[in-house]
Amino acid sequence: MARMNYQAQPLQVHEITKMKADHGVIQRLIKSYRLMLDFYGMQLESEETGLIARSSNYAPRYRNFIQLGLERLNAGFLLHVLNEQSEFSELNSRALQDSMDRWWANCLRNEGEREWIGAEIRKVRAAEATINKSEMFVFTREAYESALERRKVTGKFAE
């Protein structure tokens, strides 16, 4: 059964295989992803790693993003949002954090990625509650980029 639309049939393995082999399908999916990111004030910097950056018009888009919910996000998207929350205090409404912490992070299919990202989220949230800000953990842009590069090289986020 499909995870979100309970009336939809899940893609079959042979359908997925055929779609992955079709360059046109892949390009349309990437184009759709770029359009979605643009809607939320973000842009895809690397198709290879999934690295995301702010777009030039991010500020009004981020305000809109706080009011919307998404069912599923990939790891790169989650880590970008976490970086924006942690390092820049953007996209940090309580509702958005709650959706990210309790829902989005748990929608990742890869167990290792789900666990690693969950641990990073917990570190950021614990740091937000810390009184001594000099010891506060910040999930930086550098950490975000390093995590994606590490996954590209080793196949996983964990060191």
For residue 47 the two structure tokens come to 């198709």
The pLDDT, as a whole number, for residue 110 is 84
Domain borders along the chain are 13-154
Per residue in 66-124, pLDDT (tens digit) is 555 443 347 888 999 999 999 999 998 888 899 899 888 887 878 999 999 999 999 99
Task: For residues 103 and 99, give the distance between their C-alpha atoms in angstroms, rounded to a whole number.
Answer: 5
In sequence order, the 6+-apart residues with CB closer than 8 A to the CB of 152 are 48, 49
Task: For residues 137 and 85, give the distance between their C-alpha atoms in angstroms, rounded to a whole number.
Answer: 12
Per residue in 13-51, pLDDT (tens digit) is 999 999 999 999 999 999 999 998 998 899 999 999 989
Find, among 21, 120, 132, 127, the residue nearest to 80 by Cα: 120
pTM of this structure:
0.65
The pLDDT, as a whole number, for residue 133 is 67
Per residue in 122-134, pLDDT (tens digit) is 999 998 887 776 7
DSSP annotation of 71:
S
